Structure 1
Amino acid sequence: MPKKLLIALGIIIIMIIFSGIVWWQKFLIKKPAEKLKIYHIGLLQMSSPVNENIKGFKMGMEELGYKEGVNIRYTYRNAEGDLKKLEQYAQELVSLKPDLIFVNTSPATAAIKKATEGTGIPVVFSMVADPVRAGFVASIKSSGNNLTGTSCAYIDIAPKRLALLKEINPAIKKVLIFYRPEDLSGGPATEEILKAAPGIGVEVVAVPISKKEDIKNYLDKLKPGEIDAIMDPADAMVNSALTEWGIEKAKELKVPLMMLGRLECEKGALACFGVDYVDLGKQSALIANQILRGIAPSDIPIEMPRKFFFAINLKTAKAIGLEIPERVLSKADLIIE
């Protein structure tokens, strides 16, 4: 082999080896590890009775690959029915500039909507009875802003809840309902209940309130025989107050109490019928995942609930001397014994 060819071949071999070393150093040895994205999610709720909705949201996020303490962290605030704290907590969460805020109930959504205006922070709401009627979004197909989420449809199912209460105890004639006229869920739901009451065969005693303590004061004065049942119309403040004071008062008066979620029933309410809090939270997580992947909230339609939940507490039924019809028990998703 000619000497010049050998030299040329040697040079080529050296160049290949040198290039391999450079590539090794650049792409394997010296390449920095990619930094793991840790998402920051703000969580805001009106009161503890809807805890399972937050739980469902976090469960859904984990199922989608967002592991708390690994690639996602949460900042949680609970106003416990206090509207002033709700506004304060909304401002606090916005000041932290999270990647997204998850909020449940209409009062909390109203506070977050106001606090996030102009910030660009995306919001996923849940447990909102009618987001269009409440003015949170422009339409079901497109919010036209930084919000999207899931509805609980509580205005639509309000008459059905009253009818179910009557079915639980056909002897019911007079039902007590507390509501805030300005509430974007309980107010319209109470209107629907009042419309449906004559056809169901009951009289509704609708008592307007402005704060939780109004409910306690009214309950303290109630005497046996004045009402036959109590029902939460789907007002977050009313729900909080009835959980705190109404459950025991209903047992004292020996009347049925119809609430919304599993937690209230486990605490002693006779019955609950409403959206499945956990499932709606998981459904909301699917929407949050779309936003974290780059889709704008206004491009994600508002979703209706996939599942409703009905529970009966037989311990409470026994305590108030009520026998629940078998046809009602057959409908229950949960029977507490």
Structure 2
Amino acid sequence: MPHWSVYTGDSEPHDGIDDLPAPPPWRAFDGGPVLPVPRDTDDGAAVSPDRAHRARTYVAAPETVQLVNAALVLRRPLLVTGPPGTGKSSLAYAVARELRLGPVLRWNITSRSTLSDGLYQYDPLSRLYAARRAVWRAGDGTPGAKASGAGRPDDGPPAGTDVEEHLRLGPLGTALLPYGRPRVLLVDEIDKSDLDLPNDLLNVLEEGQYEIPELMRAARRSGPGATAEVLADGTDAPVAVTRGRVRCRAFPFVVLTSNGEREFPPAFLRRCVRLRLRRPDHEQLTEIVRAHLDTPAGEAEHLINRFLARAADGELATDQLLNALYLTGVAGLDADSRDALADELMPYLSATADGDGF
């Protein structure tokens, strides 16, 4: 393995990320103070059993291993494209597990997603309601009552009305905190986004930093060094943000997945390391099945060949094969019934010679 590689793809957790080469001078970041990466079990952020299984059993091709390491060393996002079911999102969990980078921060993209959704969410209405409740409770209990002396400069804001109490960092905003190790950010199905989102991401991913205007305005009133305690994505533990500015230290490992349904702007593409996942061949499928299931060799071989034969005529996903192997294994069917059930569990994902995709 090249000396600059830290991800091996063998799924065994290790601390090789500490040996990651220094970043290129144009990709070095100096945010602080340095934060420790949370463990998967911190603050209830444990990985769900299904994702833990996917991370542990992920089978990485040599090209995948090489390009993951390239993205880590260059501090660039990894744009992963390929047909459904080829393990695009599972790759993020596999890298996080092997390199001990904490829980994956996941941002599921829809046509309505905006950059601010990924950075942070602020609820001004809840702050307004909190202020009204605070005035009510401080007064005599009647509508419109106000506490004696309320509103004087030395009173300070009522409890529950500070901006940070109604603001929470999103997955992208959390990934850019100054962690000592890179966090893993999965931006899933970015090709479903509005046309502007990839371009909107450019500046944030290029600069490794962003600002929170609501906290910056509050900081101007509080004076130099004003720090707010805000909640990060996936945890109930607050983190400190000084004067409303966030800058990363270890650039996150960003995995952007796409089913190839659209083209991206050249300016966006040139800032990414690009990985194209292809459908696994017979050897890779055999290894994937072995990692996931204890299916007898003969039965697995038969259904793998059947899967590959069907895949020649239409689009199938690897998890369809795994579903068929698992269910036919527990059903105890004869050979003919097993094959018929397997075919029912492996419908085409797009229009084929069958006409309607089924």
The structure with higher relative contact order (CA 8 Å, sep 6+) is 2
Alignment TM-score, normalising by the size of structure 2: 0.23
Between Structure 1 and Structure 2, the one with more strand by share is: 1
Alignment TM-score, normalising by the size of structure 1: 0.24
Between Structure 1 and Structure 2, the one with more helix by share is: 1
